[in-house]
Homo-oligomer: A and B are copies of this chain.
């Protein structure tokens, strides 16, 4: 299981050989460290919380790839394809346990107590969000509100948690911890909306995923949901492509991307991302000490993978 976990984190290949492959972005753990220093804490004191966030995130990706039949992760076959579904579930379960273990063993008792509360609450929200996302796949239509509720649970909750536990490690007061949670949640929405844009218009050589991957899998992402709810001819044609029983061809994917753009879906997603970015920066409790966090907001908004 150590082999699988290290492979999943991009540390080595399936044989355990260190390859210098590109690891994950580690954005969530960077948020934890950034929040800690913004609140006047040390980096060292927040490292266990940052590790726990990365472990929890790794757990969700391992299980999500099984549920979504995600075939690639960071440009390589996902763990379930290399070692089977059972092992991918188990490796995820083990990372989940390790997240709590790290918090408990390496943080002061009172801080661990608060951090564990944040992680359990975020975990439950993540389960809820993933459940909604999976349920969308059986649907012929998803409203903007339904999509936004899912995005808050599936993505924003963990980013909020990452920032809140960073603040906890700096012994921040409850008002500051809540503000950091708010900041992380707003940034999480930025991250998700940008993810949705990349999922349609991203460069496969940069993302490590097939072109138009989200369209091929008929996912209800923000650009798609916004386009479908726009009501014009492009929306109708897009809905008919999404509700066809046939496998999408490459031509269908290109056509769907053009329809989403024509129906204003891309524009809405870009606009929403900018709005949540402004809201995130507004929520920041300690602007003057938050240079690292402000850098991360720019990374979240302007990344290409």
Chain A window 27-64, contacts with chain B (Cβ cutoff 8 Å), 1 for yes, 0 for no: 00000000000000000000000000000000000010
Whether a CB of chain B sits under 8 angstroms from the CB of A227 is no
Residues of chain B within 8 A of A220, CB atoms compared:
none
Q: Which residue of B lies closest to A66 (CB)?
A: B89
Judge if A236 is at the interface, Cβ distance under 8 Å.
Answer: no
Contact A127–B67 (Cβ < 8 Å)? no
Interface string of A101-142 (1 = CB under 8 A from B): 100110001101100110111011011101100100000000
For residue A123, which residues in chain B have a CB less than 8 angstroms away from its CB? 93-94, 96-97
- Supplied contacts A1-B131, A93-B123, A100-B100, 20 more A-B pairs, CB within 8 Å: A66-B89, A67-B85, A85-B85, A86-B134, A89-B89, A93-B126, A93-B127, A94-B127, A94-B128, A96-B123, A97-B123, A97-B127, A98-B124, A100-B120, A101-B117, A101-B124, A104-B116, A104-B117, A105-B117, A109-B113
Interface of A is mostly: helix
Least Cβ–Cβ distance between A97 and chain B, in angstroms: 4
Chain B residues near A230: list those with CB within 8 A. none
**Sampled A-B contacts (15; CB under 8 Å):** A66-B86, A67-B85, A67-B86, A90-B127, A90-B130, A93-B127, A94-B128, A97-B123, A97-B124, A98-B124, A101-B120, A101-B121, A104-B120, A109-B110, A113-B113
A87 on the B face (CB < 8 A): yes
| Interface magnitude class on chain A | 35 or more
Q: Name the residue among A105, A121, A127, A128 with the largest chain B CB count within 10 angstroms.
A: A127
Interface centre among A109, A119, A131 (most CB of B within 10 A): A131
A103 vs chain B, min Cβ distance (A): 9
Residue of B nearest to A134 (CB): B86
